Amino acid sequence: MLRVEGLSHAFKNGNETTLVLQQISFVVHKGEMVALLGSSGSGKSTLLNLMAGLMKPTEGEIYIADNNIVKMNENKLAEFRRTHIGFIFQAYELLPNLTVRENIELPLVFQSERPSIRKQKALKLLEQVGIPDKGDMFPSQLSGGQQQRVSIARSLITEPSVIFADEPTGNLDTKTEEEILAILKELNRTMNTTFIIVTHEREVANQTQHIITLRDGRLEQSQSPEPDQAEEVIQ
């Protein structure tokens, strides 16, 4: 589903070059829920941005659904993101002037989808994320957890191949964090959607089926969780 091959990335700062990722390679299968674990400065956010096509790597290839996104130009990438990639942000990033339902429909607006179909899909997703009655509200009228649920619904509306979640529980309290992770796991199970979650918290990573650990820009480990936690994931 997602294949990263020999990925390296360096930032240039004047004459100085900082290597942030070095020869990263891994594979994520369809329907997997993967955690990209690492401490601050480990290069996990850079890796996420590269996989989402928001940056071009210095070296290496990234394949999503057999499409090499490194070779795509900006417009092609926009089109690819529109159809194959979903995003969940740490700070939700909902547009404040649009209602909850309009926010969820937005990716389909860029696909020129018919309004009736958009509405139908948005209402179904609102139910799936557990806020069926919030469609006509504005983001400012919702709690942080509810806003993140809207963000999840928005990422799912195009039925993408993979959803990238950048610290999705980073702004939430423990109880809400658990609720959001439960929703993600449920959606992963029922919709068979691939999730790649960037996190620095081991507890969050342990909830997934596959943990990719980064340290100082290198792939430290790519493994399944401990058996007792894996059982929890399966449940």
Partner 1 sequence: MRIADLTRLSWDQVRRRKVVTMLCAAGLSIGCAAIILAMSIGESTQEIVSSQLNSFLKMDEITVYPNNGPSSPPGSTESKDDEAAKRGALNDQKLEIMRNIKHVKAVAPFQEFNYMEMTTMDSKKGYALIVGTDLSTLKDFGESFMQGDVTGTTDTMNAVVLSYGATLDLLDPETRSKLYQSMDRNPYDENIRKQYESLRTTPTALFKQQIQILSMQDSGKQLTSPGLRVIGVLKKPKGQSDINIAQDRKIYVSIETAEMLRKELFPKNESENKAGTYNSVKVKVDAEEHVKQVEDQLKKLSVNTQSNLLQKERLEEQFSIFKAVAVGAGVFILIIASISIIVAMTMSTYQRRRQIGIMKVLGANLAQIRNMFIVEAALLGLLGGLLGILFSYWIVWGINALILNMTQGESAMSIFIPAKAIPTGLAFAIMTGILSGIYPAVSASRTDALTAIKRD
Stretch that binds partner 1, among 1-9, 71-79, 129-137, 174-182 (CB under 8 A): 71-79
Q: How many helices (H) and strands (E) does the chain have?
A: 8, 10
When asked if residue 13 is in the footprint of partner 1 (CB under 8 A), the reply is: no
**Positions 80 through 119 that interact with partner 1 (CB under 8 A):** 81-83, 85, 87, 89, 91, 93, 95, 97-98, 106-107, 109-112, 115
Whether the Cβ atoms of residue 42 and residue 54 lie closer than 8 Å to each other: no
**Positions 148 through 167 that interact with partner 1 (CB under 8 A):** 154, 158
Structure tokens at 17: 């070059």
In a 13 Å sphere around the CA of 100, the CA atoms on its Cβ side amount to 27
Give Cβ neighbours of residue 102 (< 8 Å, ≥ 6 apart): 95
When asked if residue 74 is in the footprint of partner 1 (CB under 8 A), the reply is: yes
Query: Which residue, 97 or 140, has its beta carbon nearer to partner 1?
Result: 97
How far is 184 from 167, CA to CA, in rounded Å?
13
Structure tokens at 192: 């068979």
- Packing angle between helix 100-109 and helix 115-128, nearest 10 degrees? 130
Query: Which residue, 164 or 209, has its beta carbon nearer to partner 1?
Result: 164
When asked if residue 15 is in the footprint of partner 1 (CB under 8 A), the reply is: no
Query: Which residue, 151 or 206, has its beta carbon nearer to partner 1?
Result: 151
Options 37, 52, 131, 204; binder of partner 1; rule CB under 8 A: 52
Q: How far is the CB of 233 from partner 1 (least distance, A)?
A: 28
Report in angstroms the alpha-carbon separations of 158 from 32, 100, 167: 18, 16, 21
Query: Using CB under 8 A as the criterion, which residues of the chain lie in contact with partner 1 when the complex forms?
Result: 49, 52, 54-55, 74-75, 78-79, 81-83, 85, 87, 89, 91, 93, 95, 97-98, 106-107, 109-112, 115, 154, 158
